[in-house]
Amino acid sequence: MSQPPAVPVPPDLARRYSSSSAGRAWLASLPDLIRSRMEQWELDLDLMPGTFPWSGHGGIVVPVLAGGTRAALKVAFPHDEAVVERHALALWNGRGAVRLLASDAGTCSMLLERLDSGRSLQTQPMDVAAEVWGGLMRELSLVPDGQPQWREFLHVAARAEQWSDDLPAEWEQLGKPFPRWLLEAALEVCQTRGAVGRRSGADVLVNTDFHFLNILARPGATEKPGHRNFAAIDPQPMVGEAEFAVAPVLWNRMADLPAADPAAGLRARCRDFSRAAGLDDEAARQWSLAREVDNALHYASKRDHGGDLARSLWVASTLAGRTLDGLPDPRTLPEPGRAAGRTTPA
């Protein structure tokens, strides 16, 4: 087998990781990482000359052929989600999620089935999106068993305990960027739902980044919608209450909220997606509130993220039942990460 050709690094990925020494070192190593995986797994590059491979916030995805079969080679920058992603994909085994064909822990590399990157839930009507999302959510919500991969995941209740300690300190350090009552609402969720999650015994595998753009059509899927025609990608897996997964569908596609009453539309979306998956919509509302307060504090700590901060504050306060005054029309706010370079999961 001849040496695989060099794979160009997408400019946006290069910009994202060139600002730190660790990122620059990873970028410098990336051509050799890709070449070594292609040689080990006997892959052929399936990239049109003059084009770049796909990239997301955390890595690069190269279209390849594995024994003539279309596949995708993903090489991620080493970080917590990338380390555990392969464990979740192995447990799902292609049911509701992209199928894992091979992995290499040392380089955060995975060989995946290739999905249709041009077809996601981002452009599906919202009722169809809810049906597909709900069906996939049911498939992804595995109950822990004795397999060793389960030991790798953090627990949602532990995250809530961490927030109980961290959020008040961050709020103070950032100069109290939003009213105290909203912080208190998030802390109440952490205390109540965190305790419920510890006691309930209803733990499942939770994809915490389960939004529209992270759900792609399977190859050869018909135009007729249905959850078996789609699969989740880029999971950020945890263990705990399934309702923790609802939040990303609320803070994405806000331009689709009804103009007459976007607040009522947001609450209805929370209800509709929850019920499509057989979830408790009140628990989903509570977890989504807490997650958006955490996001708001993250954005408040960054420069040039005013639109992201406004979006998080609008969603969090609306879910709390007291939409903050002075915020822009939520339908005009940017999609996550669009106000500046993407710095949190969408």
Print the SS3 string covering 245-304.
HCHHHHHCCHHHCCCCCHHHHHHHHHHHHHHHCCCCHHHHHHHHHHHHHHHHHHHHCCCC
Residue 116 annotated in active site:
no
Q: Quote the tokens at residue 113.
A: 């089935």
DSSP state of 42: T
- Write down how long the chain is: 346
Contacts 24+ apart (CB under 8 A), 63-72: 63/114, 64/38, 64/111, 66/41, 66/42, 66/101, 66/111, 67/42, 70/46, 70/114, 70/219, 71/43, 71/101, 71/111, 71/112, 71/113, 71/114, 72/111, 72/112, 72/113, 72/114, 72/115
Helices (H), the chain: 11-17, 21-40, 80-92, 126-140, 156-173, 180-200, 247-251, 262-276, 281-300, 306-319
How many other C-beta atoms lie within 10 A of the C-beta of residue 277? 25
CA angle, 205 as apex, 199 and 211 as ends, to 5°? 120
AA identity, residue 99: R
Q: Quote the tokens at residue 120.
A: 């996601």
* Helix-strand-coil split of the chain, %, nearest 5: 50, 15, 35
Give the active site residue among 12, 145, 209, 234. 209
First-to-last alpha carbon distance for the chain, in angstroms, is 39
Q: Quote the tokens at residue 139.
A: 């498939």
Q: Which residues are catalytic?
A: 209
